Copies of this chain bind each other. A is one copy, B any other.
């Protein structure tokens, strides 16, 4: 069996183990057994538990970023592009719950893992900022929607999506039948934010009443 196939099997087994048990508690014996290889082979290929975890984190980051890029590749009306991006994101997080759980674990494991996840978040937020800025230009409101506000909105959207994905996956883990589908989760976020964003691109704003 070629090395890359063996390595993929090891990473698949490791992602599942780290997702289930966490970094500390996951056992290299169990990972080797689940991958159908000997433990020395895991160490030969991936060096150490830390390197194995890092390889998992990097693989899952690449997969998530690729899914979002793919989903937002096609230019279109702002709401359609946002919808495409959200459905691609939630389809990915629903299909790879272990991968998402590994990224969540990585965020709590100190350096160097936190840095990897932070860099991914910066990359996705920059992508979303670009899309929102484009939507603002398309609708001719790029003067009204300051660069600062576009950046803030992008951060809000990424935080909301991240939080919703965790919530949806927790529901699915607790009771798969009662969990929302990826499209339903995407629709929840779309309903949460779209009309707000749409009003912003039309120059309409929510204003607090006097004294509020």
Give the B-binding residues of A (Cβ under 8 A). Answer: 79-80, 83-84, 107-110, 114, 148-149, 151-153, 155-164, 166-168, 171, 178, 180, 185, 187-200, 204-206, 208-209, 212
Contacts and interface: CB of A to CB of B under 8 A. Distances in A.
Copy total for this chain: 2
B191 A199 contact: yes
A192 B196 contact: yes
Given A151-B167, A152-B180, A152-B189, 16 more contacts: A80-B209, A107-B107, A148-B171, A152-B168, A156-B188, A157-B192, A190-B206, A191-B196, A191-B199, A191-B200, A192-B193, A192-B196, A195-B196, A195-B198, A195-B204, A196-B197
A158 B156 CA distance: 9
Of A107, A167, A204, most B-chain CB atoms within 10 Å: A167
A83 B212 contact: yes
Contact of A164 (B80, B108, B110, B156): B156
A205 to B, nearest CB: 6
Contact of A191 (B108, B178, B206, B209): B206
B79 A149 contact: no
Contacts of A110: 108-110
B152 A164 contact: yes
Nearest to A106: B108
Contact of A193 (B79, B166, B193): B193
Contacts of A162: 159, 163
Of A157, A188, A200, most B-chain CB atoms within 10 Å: A188
A188 B200 CA distance: 10
Contacts of A166: 155
B107 A188 contact: no
A170 to B, nearest CB: 9
